[in-house]
Amino acid sequence: MPGFEVFGEEEKKHINDVLESGILMRYNFDNQRNKHWKAKEFEEAISAKIQTKHTHLVSSGTTALITAIKALGIGAGDEIILPAFTFVASFEAVLFTGAIPVLADIDDTLTLSPEAVKKAISPRTKAIMPVHMCGAMADLDALMEIARENNLFLIEDACQAIGGKYKGKYLGTIGHIGCFSFDFVKTITCGEGGAILTNDSQLYEFCHQFSDHGHDHLGNDRGAEQHPTIGLNFRISELHAAVGLGQWQKLDEILNRQKEIKALIKNILNQNSNLNFRRIPDETGDNSSFLSLFLQNENQARELATQLKSEGIPSAYWFDNNWHYARKWDHFKELKNDTSLSEEQRKLLPDWNTLDLSDSDEVLKKTITIPLSLKWTNEKAVEIAHKTLEILDNLKS
């Protein structure tokens, strides 16, 4: 699953280029960097591969989301609809722009339910943020239609689905703006890093300015540059970009290997007629970093998770996860009383203690997800599949 499993000479070469020049910053110092511009090269490589006009690198997937939201002009009091099943960073990014996160249920895609989105739209809604969880996509046709009908932006959080596609287009390039994460456990890693993807030149101009204190990046004298916007320091370093550039060369190799491993395991597990799999709107576009199983009930799912753990097989039981499912986000349930937020924002926040996530509960109670390792040989994958099948066959109904 994660790119760090295939570190090699490619990453070392690009890192050494940076170390030998001594220039760790992505901007300026033109005469001292030995013509190495790793962030620019990485951005160009991403754009060329995924066929987007602009890519801008930042320090994390979280800062990419914040920058994307700001670029769309979304802020104080505006609402963004996002799924209740996501990494907590999606929620945090919305909250710290001054906007209001509106959590909606997921469906059997493990992503945002179009029907739940329709119910969640209000006069304050400005955007829909599907999160392509665990390597596969949301129902983008339905969500884009809802966005068009209601004059809303669609922000793709593709942080967990780098290289995935929907109907031939790369995830992150289909909505108005998209985001990647390159943190340590992502399909492609920089150690820490993120990217904003867009075909809109105005959005891009805002992103590369905002993420560097508002610098316009015109000319060769950083101190003489203008500041057309207020910004923050969300820059990626040349060292992080160097790692990502080396990793990016391996994307197809990583995706192909993940697909091979997933197919091996899934074909064996298909022998259990009581087992169902996650619905993927475009199976060919799955980046195949995870395999999600739907059990018959909560007891079976919990028992499978327990037994997989005892066998040393990695798995996630999302219903009890503290970081990926809003049911367990206790630190957000008292935000209405958090005086570090503005009074105006606190008044608009929903009461998370009364949030109805019953549809998501029904899905996640029965879901087990196995992260797939790039280090598994075919023999190891088959062994894991047979052990999982053995456990499944012996589960009580």
Average pLDDT over residues 278-293: 98
Tell me: the pLDDT tens digits for 200-232? 999 999 999 999 999 999 988 899 999 999 999
**Which pLDDT score is estimated for 42?**
98
**Which pLDDT score is estimated for 384?**
98
**Which pLDDT score is estimated for 220?**
85
Per-domain boundaries in the chain: 3-251, 252-393
pLDDT confidence band for 394 (50 / 70 / 90)? very high
Given 3-state DSSP classes, what are the helix, strand and coil percentages for the chain, each rounded to the nearest 5? 45, 15, 40
Name, in order, each residue with C-beta under 8 angstroms of 65's C-beta and a sequence gap of 6 or more: 89, 90, 93, 94, 155, 157, 179, 194
Other beta carbons within 10 angstroms of residue 342's beta carbon come to 12
The fold for domain 3-251 equals Aspartate Aminotransferase; domain 2 (3.40.640)
User: Is the separation of the CB atoms in 167 and 118 below 8 Å?
Assistant: no
Task: Give the closest residue to 235 by CA, choosing from 97, 33, 28, 46.
Answer: 28
Strands (E) in 96-139, as ranges, are 100-104, 125-128
Q: Which two tokens stand for residue 120?
A: 């969640």
Total-model pTM: 0.97
How open is the CA angle 75-79-80, to the nearest 5 degrees?
Answer: 100
Average pLDDT over residues 341-353: 92
CATH number 3.90.1150.10 is the correct assignment for the domain at 252-393: yes
Tell me: the pLDDT tens digits for 43-92? 999 999 999 999 999 999 999 999 999 999 999 999 999 999 999 999 99
In angstroms, rounded to a whole number, what is the distance separating the alpha carbons of residues 301 and 317?
8
Q: Mean pLDDT over all residues of the chain?
A: 96
**Which pLDDT score is estimated for 8?**
96
